[in-house]
Chains A and B, each alone.
Chain A
Amino acid sequence: MSGAFLPDGRLHLQHGPIDLIVEAFGARREVEAAYRQAIARFGDILPTLVQELPLLRRPVGDAYPLLHGPVARRMVEAVWAHRAQYITPMAAVAGSVADEMLQAMLAGRTLDKAYVNDGGDIAIHLAPGHSLRAGIFVAALDGAVELAYDSPVRGLATSGWGGRSFSLGIADSVTVLASTAAMADAAATVIANAVDADHPAIERQSALSLDPDSDLGELAVTVAVGDLPAEIAVQALERGSAKARELRRRGLIQGAALALKGEWRIEAQASCLTTSAASAR
């Protein structure tokens, strides 16, 4: 386990696969206290999480999995709504850690704003009158979104086949805005899985053949995406967009931005992602 303050004052915490960038804004004493709370909370996150790993790696089905750890409970809560397809609580692990850490930081504190960024899955706190700008990087800064106090968005997550986690789809990137980082994380996974097509240029392998501990079992995960005909890419994006729309209509997400081979789709209510839509290339 390690951690340090980055030269610009942000807090960096790392333990095994958990890698957090934490920043708080507000009165100095409050910010310092918030960082102390974050550091104090962090030590226990991974040890508690791993105790329930076997159950967290199993797909959720008809019965709501009973878990003890606070992060594990957040994970299950976030993926439960998606149980109609194959999903395990691990789909929301990064966002859940971010939410839990943010809550620990905020307890008793008065901050203007704060965020916990767990490898791109971000939990956000905003006080009235404050906002936070988040960028979406695919090839460069490809989009940006202004998160304001009066929007319900407090979580942001990105998924894609090239990241640290396996994806069943071929999306270069799916960024989701939701009311928690855990919900955004789970939804980004689901939408990225839906951005899919059947084409010989797409190479897949069983997850277990790559990682014996993968929660995706024998499912075929994407390992390479070659040249795709434009219509195939568009088709794949449309599938993803349809999934995003479904999730938005069910109230699970506020918006999503999908990218594949330089093509973009924005799925959002007019008010939410307009900034992103305007600046997306």
Chain B
Amino acid sequence: MSDDDLSLSDSERSAGIVRCDACPVLCRIRPGRAGACDRYANENGTLVRVDPLVLLAKPDLARVAFVEGSNAWSGELGKGEGAFVTGIGATTTYPDYKPAPFIVSSKPEGVDMVTVVTEGIFSYCGVKVKIDTDRYLGPEQAAVRVKGEAVGHVTTAEYGSQMLSLGGVHHLTGGSKKEGVVTCEALLALCNKEAVELAIDGGSTVLVQADKPPVVNGTLEERMRVGCGSAAIGMFAPQWKDHVDEVIVVDDHITGVLSEHQGGRFLDMKPAGIRVRGRKSTAGRYFQVAQPGLGWGGTDVSDPLDIIEKIDPKTAWPGLRLLMVSTTGEHSAWFELDRELRPQPAAMPAPVAKVVERIAENCEPALCTVLFMAGAGGSLRAGVTENPVRLTRSVRDTLTKVTLGGVPAYVWPGGGITLMVDVAKMPEKSFGYVPTPALVAPIEFTLRAEDYAALGGYASRAVTLEDVLSRHKVRLE
């Protein structure tokens, strides 16, 4: 389309007519009237969105989010210095048969910059979810279900956390329609920071919400473990030394045994002769002391003595003081060996209880983190430049900065513009969807004006930030 399609004659302009470019009809709208769709109107010479799109549940037009740069945003819509127009509510077309809705030029610190603002329709997208918990959520590769539909799978266990991979093109469009729709709904809710209940085959049900603690089988997970069992031994050994004869830190990954552990040996602790179940890794470190589960330290253990295989009468002694504790300090028990060397529960001495509390204190709050991951394909790039591959190269060369709703995205090395962004940092209701099904997310490309021209950008379509602020209903975030 040529620029002529968009320009108005002088007489039209003096009659207060505005041109709507929200869709290819390009209505000319007289003051006080709406366009053919009844969604955009001319309000005193300004094109405004009459109401938000009901089904996309999207907010008003372009929103000004925070701001990069040193100047604190004053909240005024004056010159918009330091303001950053996000793609939220910018709308788009698919495929991109016209330039992106907003190409905004600004001049922070004297450098001419251009931000291409659009909303991307991402058929290739999903979320990576990190759930801070030691509780057993399910076996690796198990299907993760919403309303009975597979929407993703359990992937690796990471430090104090379990990763899930949800969405992706195979669930969105590769399965049944219901699978695609349910996946899209779940992704949309997670990305918009809403809670979603995920059921894992052969495992737990977990309520996940970005930036909130997980709820595993109805129990709120408050803390992330301080470290694995072995790490906990290392961290607290000196504080226990004078008050205990043995400490066993119960952990589904690595259970630590103080007297055998390097940390205990270093403090010249006497071997206690208490052998835990499982497979010995190195001194004082044991794998698989029990099955994974929702009990102590992510095991299925509710009575910690279950993990003790035997107590060696040649080494142990009556009156031996034993602390058993989980990696979050959430579970703990104090035992003393009787004459037959049987552990008997007893009142925990205050100095020991204090260290147990300290374990809890040193745990970070458990959170769910949701990273939106998507690939910006050829069509979306075509809204930015006539020569899409140059945009990819420019991003790769870090000449172009990619943000989603104003939040910097991590761009994967390799082909395409495959990015990840923390949805918790993005403004409310940043995401929408289309029935493809695919998610719609705001995306902005910011680069120097001269670089933009060089990569074949629609430089003539650039408008100033001031224009955007004056022409559109703007919501402050």
Contact = CB atoms under 8 A, between A and B. Distances in A.
Residue of A2, A3, A12, A15 ringed by the most chain B CB atoms within 10 A: A2
A212 B30 contact: yes
A3 B55 contact: yes
A4 B55 contact: yes
B37 A16 contact: yes
Interface in B424-477: 432-436, 440
A212 B176 contact: no
Nearest to B436: A39
Given A3-B434, A14-B53, A36 B177 contact: yes
B367 interface: no
Residue of B53, B177, B435 ringed by the most chain A CB atoms within 10 A: B435
B25 A17 contact: yes
Q: Which 4 A-B pairs have the closest CB atoms?
A: A16-B23, A17-B36, A32-B177, A17-B37
Residue of B29, B36, B38 ringed by the most chain A CB atoms within 10 A: B36
A17 B23 contact: yes
B55 A46 contact: no
Interface string A5-22: 110000111111101000
B121 to A, nearest CB: 9
A263 interface: no
Interface in B38-81: 38, 53, 55-56
Interface in A218-258: none
A27 B212 CA distance: 42
Range for the number of chain B residues in contact with chain A: 20 to 34
A212 B17 contact: yes
Interface in B8-29: 12, 17, 22-29
Given A2-B53, A32-B177, A164-B36, A50 B28 contact: no
A19 B39 CA distance: 11
Interface string B91-103: 0011101000000
Interface of B: 12, 17, 22-30, 33, 35-38, 53, 55-56, 93-95, 97, 176-177, 181, 432-436, 440
Interface of A: 1-6, 11-17, 19, 32, 35-36, 39, 43, 46-47, 50, 53, 164, 209-213
14 contacts: A1-B23, A3-B434, A3-B435, A5-B181, A12-B55, A19-B37, A36-B177, A46-B23, A46-B25, A50-B24, A50-B25, A210-B30, A211-B28, A211-B33
Given A13-B435, A14-B53, A16-B37, 10 more contacts: A1-B434, A2-B55, A4-B56, A4-B435, A17-B25, A35-B435, A209-B30, A210-B30, A212-B30, A213-B36
A55 to B, nearest CB: 15
A91 B28 CA distance: 19
A119 to B, nearest CB: 10
B38 A164 contact: yes
Contacts of A213: 27-28, 36
Residue of A12, A47, A211 ringed by the most chain B CB atoms within 10 A: A211
A90 B33 CA distance: 20
A210 B31 CA distance: 9
B34 to A, nearest CB: 9
Contacts of B432: 2
Given A4-B56, A5-B181, A16-B36, A46 B435 contact: no
B435 A16 contact: no
B26 A5 contact: no
B55 to A, nearest CB: 4
Contacts, number: 76
Residue of A1, A4, A43 ringed by the most chain B CB atoms within 10 A: A4
Contacts of B94: 1, 43
Contact of A53 (B25, B30, B33): B25
A50 B97 CA distance: 12
Contact of B55 (A14, A32, A210): A14
A59 to B, nearest CB: 19
Contacts of B176: 32
A211 to B, nearest CB: 7
Contacts of A212: 12, 17, 28, 30
A142 B246 CA distance: 85
A5 B182 CA distance: 11
Contacts of A39: 435-436
A13 B56 CA distance: 11
Contacts of A5: 181, 435
Residue of B53, B177, B433, B436 ringed by the most chain A CB atoms within 10 A: B177
Contacts of B38: 17, 164
Contacts of B436: 39
B433 A4 contact: yes
Contact of A50 (B17, B26, B33, B37): B26
Contacts of A13: 435
Contacts of A43: 94-95
A39 B123 CA distance: 14
Contacts of B433: 4
A251 to B, nearest CB: 31
A16 B22 contact: yes
A47 B24 contact: yes
Contacts of A3: 55, 434-435
B45 to A, nearest CB: 14
A2 B30 CA distance: 26
Nearest to B53: A2
A213 B30 CA distance: 10
Contacts of B177: 32, 35-36
A53 B28 CA distance: 13
A240 to B, nearest CB: 25
Nearest to B20: A16
B90 to A, nearest CB: 13
